[in-house]
Amino acid sequence: MTECVECGAEVSLHDDLEVGEIIDCTTCGAELEVVDTEPPVLEQAPELEEDWGE
């Protein structure tokens, strides 16, 4: 568990957390980026850019 940086709600995290992964806050819907795993640290994820894709 860690805290959503947007709304402060608790965010549950899965075991194979990866730096760079995006987690959705189930309370406010914010997209949160994992910037560290030991211990878990979340930041607001970047907004979608026009050239993103595959």
Q: Quote the Cα angle for 22-25-52, to 5°.
A: 35
Q: Quote the Cα angle for 14-15-20, to 5°.
A: 75
Residues 36 and 43: beta-carbon distance below 8 Å: no
> Quick one: which of 15, 38, 47, 51 contacts another protein (CB under 8 A)?
51
By CB under 8 A, which span of 5-13, 17-25, 36-44 interacts with another protein? Answer: 17-25
> Quick one: which of 19, 24, 43, 44 contacts another protein (CB under 8 A)?
19
The residues of the shown chain that bind another protein, judged by CB under 8 A, are 16, 18-22, 33-34, 45-46, 49-54
